[in-house]
Amino acid sequence: MKKILLFLLLLIDASPKIIKLFIKYNNETGFSTIPISFGSNKEIFYVQIDTTTCKSWIPSPKFPFDVKKYNISQSSTGILTKRSLEFEDEDGTVFGKACYDTIRIGYLELKHFGFGLMNEVDYKFNDYPQGKLGLGYSQQSENDFNLIKHLKKIGLLEKEEFMIEKDSNSLYIGNISKKLENLRHSECYILETNTLHRIYRESWSCLLTSIFFDISFLIINGYYVNSASYINLLEVNGWAIFDSSFKYIGFPKAYYNVFVKYFFNGYENTCKIFKDLDWKYLKCYDKSFVDTAQIFFIINNKVYPIFSNDLFKEKGNGEYELLIRFYKKDDNVFTFGHPFMKGFSVAYDYEEKKISFYGGIALTYDEIIQARQNQLYGYYSEQSFLTLIEVVLIAYIFFLIC
């Protein structure tokens, strides 16, 4: 009888299931991380969730910056190879060697899992994570180096998909379809990105002109901006990159002037422009403006708002950094980074090559046209306010009659 019970427990344990991991968010660095232990000594690293690379890495003892580092020679299960690795994503490039070791993620213990042990870094930013968990999309990815494909290979997943859920601040890996059945969503399909620069090949990305993903309008502080006026997306390769590890929202170079015009309308003297090697960015010095600023992306006729608390980061001494970057190169690329991605539950499906956003505010076509005509604030314009008064008066008269 005991043998039968043990056999049944083994069957249950080996069956495909949903893996749930809690995400820890660092307000200072903007990193969304989960704990993974490495090696026979079970050293815990809080690795950053990254959807622009499908491989994972942690720093080696040679890593040149002050972060936690992993010495694989002290793990009895670790194997360091001579194979060189180079990971390039939106943040920059890291260089190192391929290795294999036992890792523990949630309740799972995965033996001989492949990851990078990185020695050098060429990042655009000064903040460095304790490593990265690569959840990007790539058909060419090796099973042992890609967590999702590795779990499918060993029979723990029925389907290669995962979800980052906003409300529970959790990462779900596994068969999440039933969990999503009753949620409203807007989805787009991932297209092969071989025509792009190589740093985007493992990103969750799609053409902006795709019928599945149409970002034809932006609302910037109440002003409707038709993107086709600034970038003819039907004639060039306009792309949307979905990168939860990127601390900003990236805009194409062509949007810079129109964005400043509408976003800082009436507050031009309160902001300053800064430049670095790859970006233009802005800082603001007026708290009243910072408290009210907002932009809305309209994707597939659904509105995705980003409000002031997600648009600015306080730097001290009355300085607020706008978490939007403008490419200095002529790349027609929108990068939907953490300020956008954190506001929604997002599901990723390797097999159907699609990404779905949950929690967008659905508007009808007529409502979108009305908002456009009224520059969004029309709902709160004088006309709308009078309409509200009329409703209140009618209700009051009705109350007196009754």
DSSP secondary structure of 214-256? ---EEEETTEEEEGGGT--TTTTT-EEEE-TT-SSEEE-GGGH
Same domain? 166 vs 201: no
Query: CA-CA distance, 31 to 244, in Å (whole number)?
Result: 9
**pLDDT recorded at residue 274:** 86
**pLDDT recorded at residue 225:** 67
Beta-sheet strand order (sheet of 223-226): 223-226, 217-220, 294-299, 302-307, 361-362
Q: 276 is in which domain, residue-wise?
A: 183-363
Domain termination residue (choose one: 104, 138, 173): 173
Same domain? 150 vs 206: no
CA distances from 366 to 73, 187, 386, 395 (A): 64, 21, 21, 27
pLDDT along the chain (402 residues), means of 10: 43 57 76 91 92 88 89 95 82 86 92 92 71 82 78 86 85 79 66 49 67 59 60 55 84 82 81 82 87 77 77 89 85 82 84 78 58 46 38 48 55
Same domain? 140 vs 231: no
Same domain? 217 vs 136: no
| Whether the Cβ atoms of residue 59 and residue 48 lie closer than 8 Å to each other | no
Is 193 contained in some domain?
yes
- The H or E element containing residue 59 is strand 57-59
Same domain? 222 vs 153: no
Same domain? 103 vs 194: no
**pLDDT recorded at residue 379:** 36
Can you say how many angstroms the Cα of residue 108 is from the centroid of all Cα atoms in its chain?
25
**pLDDT recorded at residue 368:** 55
Same domain? 168 vs 252: no
- Three-class SS state of 288: helix
As for how many domains the chain has, the answer is: 2
- Three-class SS state of 287: helix
pLDDT, tens only, 330-377: 667 788 888 888 878 888 888 888 888 887 665 555 665 565 555 444
Same domain? 160 vs 191: no
Same domain? 187 vs 168: no
Is 293 contained in some domain?
yes
CATH value at residue 43: 2.40.70.10
Same domain? 28 vs 47: yes
Is 194 contained in some domain?
yes
- Three-class SS state of 346: strand
CA distances from 74 to 61, 85, 240, 256, 277 (A): 12, 21, 42, 51, 39
Is 38 contained in some domain?
yes
As beta bridge partners, residue 294 has 307
What is the 8-class DSSP label of residue 118? Answer: E
Is 275 contained in some domain?
yes
Query: CA-CA distance, 146 to 352, in Å (whole number)?
Result: 17
Which residue type occupies 188? C
What is the 8-class DSSP label of residue 313? Answer: E
Same domain? 238 vs 298: yes
Same domain? 352 vs 217: yes
